[in-house]
Structure 1
Amino acid sequence: MPTEIIRERNAAAGAWAAAAVVLAVGALLFGFTAHIRANDLEAQLVQLRTQTATVAGDPSGSGASGATSGGAAPATSATANAAGPTEAEGAARVAITRAFSTVYDSSRPVGDRLALIDDPAGIGDALAAAEAGENGALIRQVVISVNDVRFSTPAAAQVAYTLTVPNMAPITGRSGAAVFLDGVWKVSRTTICGDLVQIGSGC
C-alpha cells in the first residue's frame, strides 16, 4: 500500500479520534452544566416557596393562614382580636371622660347630670344644697379634668381626676370609679358623694 494512502488514513483516524474526544468532553460539560442549572433552579424554587409562605403568614407554606384573596387577614385573626380591645377601650375612655365632665358641670341641667350617675337617688338634692350654700359660687365654677382611666373589668374602671376652681390651687389626686350600666358609662355614686362630703353636703 502506498505510503501516502497510509498517512491519509492515519490522519483521518486521528481526526475522528479527536472529534470523539471533543464530543465526549462537550457532553460531559453539558451534563455538568445542566446539573448545576437544575440545582440552581431547584434552590430558586425552594426560596420562592419560602418567600411566598412568609408573605402569606404561613411559614409551612401550606396556605393555612386563612388570608383572604385580597391579602388581608380576616376579622377573626389574631391581629383583629388584638386591635379590637384597644379601640373599644379608647371609645370607653372618651365616654367616661364625657360622663365625669357632665356630672361635675353645674351649668348642665340637673336631669342630664343625674342620668350619668349609676345610682342618683338623693344626689339631686345634695347638689342643689351644695350650690346654694355659702360656697355655692365657687362650687358652680368647679372644672374637672380626667387624668387617667384604668379598667379593672370590661364594665368597671378606676378614674384619676383633678378638680380646679379659679384662683385656687387645684385639688389633685382624686380617685373615683365609672361603671358600664344599661349600655352607658356612668360616674359611680360613691365618687360624686365622696366629693360632696368634702364640701359639707353629703348624699
Structure 2
Amino acid sequence: MPKEPSWLRPHGTPWTRSRPRVAYENPWLTVTEFDAVAPTGRPAFYGVVGFKNVATVVLPVHEDGTVVLVGQHRFPFADYSWEAPEGGAPLGEDPLEGARRELREEAGLEAARWREVLRLQLSNSVTDEAAVGYLATGLTACAQGPEPDETESLALARPPFREALEAAVAGHLKDALTVAMLLRAYHMAREGALPGDLARAMLG
C-alpha cells in the first residue's frame, strides 16, 4: 500500500461527546443524540444514525467484460434503482462473508476470486455507516439460482462494463456504492491492476 501523504494528517482538536441518549432503535439502526463540543470549542447538539451492519457491495465481472447489476424498487426515494449486488454484514462478521451471501442471494452467482478494492464512509456527517467493496471474478451460476429476501422483487441485467460505467457517469445509475465501484474498477483496468485479458475486455 502506498505511503499516506502528509497532507492527510488530522489538524486541530477533535469533537468531544457526552451524555449519549438513544432516541430511536430498530433491528437495523440506532439514532443517538449527544451533547457535544465542536472542534472550535462551541457547544453543539448532535444526532448520529448508527448502523448495525457494515454495507457490502460486489461488482461481479465476467471474463467477457460484462458486469451483473440488480434492479429493484427502493423505498426511501420511491424510485427504481439498478445496482451492483449489495447488502450488509452484521457487525462482527467478516464483510466478505456478507458479500458472498449477497452475490448468491441477489444474483445467483458464486465467485472463484474475490478482491477487496474499496472502503468507504457513507454520509459521514450524520451516520457511522461504513462500506466495503469487492471485485468478484471467476463467476459461476448457483444451482438454485437467486434467493432474494421475501420483500425483494429483483431483476438482473448483464451489460458491458463500459456501458454500465457510462450510465453511471451520465447519472442514470444513482446508487453511490455502484458508481464508486464502477469508477474504481475502471481505474484498476486503466492502471494495470487487473489481469490484461480482463482489463481489455472491460475497456473494449
Q: What interval of TM-score do these two structures reach, taking the shorter chain for normalisation?
A: under 0.3
Higher strand share: 2
Structure scoring higher RCO (CA < 8 A, sep ≥ 6) equals: 2
Higher helix share: 1
TM-score where L is the length of structure 1:
0.26
TM-score where L is the length of structure 2:
0.25
Looking at CA atoms only, which structure, 1 or 2, has the larger radius of gyration?
1
